[in-house]
Amino acid sequence: MSVSSEAGLGRPQQLGLLRVILTVYLPFASGYFLSYLYRSVNAVISGRLTGELGLAASDLGLLTAAYFFSFACFQLPLGVLLDRYGPRRVQTVLLLIAAAGAVVFALGDGLAQLIAGRALIGLGVAGCLMASFKAVTLWFQQDRWPLLNGLVLAAGGLGATVATEPVELALALTDWRGLFLALAAITVVVALAILLIVPERERGGRPSTLGEQLEGVRRIYASRIFWALVPMTAASLSTALAIHTLWAGPWLRDVAGLTQPEVARVLLLTALSLTVGFVAGGILADRLRRLGVGLGALLIADLLIFGALEAVIVFRLAVDSVWPWIVFGFFSNLGTVYAYPLLAKSFPLAYAGRANTALNLVIFFGVFAVQYAIGWILDLWPLTDDGRYPAEAYSVAFGVFLALQALGILWYLLFRPRAGGSGEAQEAR
């Protein structure tokens, strides 16, 4: 049974709203907070990793991208596990795996061990957002879903915020190894909180068989709307995540010439803007839907603005200003608010969870590829005398994926469903 189909069931317990927020929303949102913190922290510690371990840019890209590779690989099994066992038990086990990965990363003394630790972390936090969304559908009334989903995403933005200047301040007290050991301990605490505090949700009806669930996945991957959305959405969101969670830091250091504390401060402002964007995007979608503006139009508008901001960075039009990066943060993941519901609404309610994980799989494989590819492109240029990559190397690396984003938008405009009056076509406009 999918996330959406379970939403039609009556509530098993009449818990007060405040109690549900404390016992359901906060524990799961804490997990997503940690997911984004782990996702983003390498942007701040990258200089320490390369200095201590002698990593090339491609090594750093591969190391950081290992998180996204294991994350993506687990998306399809995740949907089945969430449907069969519920978000409480699945998320508890996965977060314990993430804690183990943080320990492996903290104790690693070579690239292979660090990649293994990072991959375990990615596996362990692979369900944080999907489990949170499912918990929202199980415990909150349907008219509260958009608000609660926006608040879950905002918790991730706060995790990205903590992964900037607060992490830099923590590194004055310990090294990156001590930081990851502390994160491992916090992750265990959150896992136990989900296990012990979140109430169990009884599920009614006949659970879907594995064959039925796989047939739903096949229908999603065979649909026109999926293949219209994927090139544009994956290119844009994968590039945004790859830059925000790693390459923004080196760009600010090498191109803008900022010190490490200044880099952390700019990343902090960018992450705060990201958080505001998640909440504002949900509110904007709700208001404009009443005026007949579809999610497809909002998604296109967001990606065009985001592309324009990337162009400012690629062509180094405002190197000395932090504003492009702050606005970059606001629009970088706003597409998440629109792309996932746009795809989910194109299928029966029972397919919504699998539609989300199908899109997640492509996007996070994309982040793995983009993050590694940017490092590989940078390595094509020799380091400057002061150990930096030249500005033109970043312009080429970022520019390649900006061009792919433009092609993805063009593909969507040409390939999107156009059947008159269908729900799929209405939403795609």
* pLDDT at residue 379 in the model: 94
* pLDDT at residue 410 in the model: 96
Name, in order, each residue with C-beta under 8 angstroms of 22's C-beta and a sequence gap of 6 or more: none
What distance in Å separates the CA atoms of residue 428 and residue 422, rounded to the nearest whole number?
10
What distance in Å separates the CA atoms of residue 285 and residue 263, rounded to the nearest whole number?
32
CATH number, position 383? 1.20.1250.20
Closest CA to 103 of 194, 167, 188: 188
**Do residues 68 and 370 make contact, with C-beta atoms less than 8 angstroms apart?**
no
pLDDT digits (tens, 9 = 90+) for 308-336: 999 999 999 999 899 999 999 999 888 88
The structure tokens listed for 245 are 């969670």
pLDDT digits (tens, 9 = 90+) for 186-229: 999 999 999 999 987 665 555 667 777 778 788 888 999 999 99
Question: How many domains would you assign to the chain?
Answer: 1
What distance in Å separates the CA atoms of residue 140 and residue 264, rounded to the nearest whole number?
37
Neighbours of 172 (CB within 10 A): 7
Structural domain boundaries, residue 201? 3-428
- In the block, residue with structure tokens 């098993």: 12
The structure tokens listed for 193 are 């909180």
What is the Cα gyration radius of the chain? 21
Name, in order, each residue with C-beta under 8 angstroms of 292's C-beta and a sequence gap of 6 or more: none
pLDDT digits (tens, 9 = 90+) for 48-67: 888 888 888 889 889 888 99
pLDDT digits (tens, 9 = 90+) for 352-369: 667 878 888 899 899 989
* pLDDT at residue 123 in the model: 96
351 DSSP assignment: G
Query: In a structure prediction context, what are the per-residue pLDDT tens digits for the chain, which is 429 residues long?
Result: 333 334 433 443 445 677 888 888 899 999 999 999 998 898 888 888 888 888 888 898 898 889 989 999 998 888 778 777 888 999 999 999 999 999 999 999 889 999 999 999 999 999 998 888 788 777 877 556 666 777 888 898 899 889 888 998 999 999 999 999 999 999 999 999 999 999 876 655 556 677 777 787 888 889 999 999 999 999 999 999 899 888 999 999 999 999 988 998 998 899 899 889 888 887 887 778 778 888 889 899 999 999 999 999 999 999 989 999 999 999 988 888 788 888 877 887 667 667 878 888 899 899 989 999 999 999 999 999 888 999 999 999 999 999 999 999 999 999 988 754 444 554 555
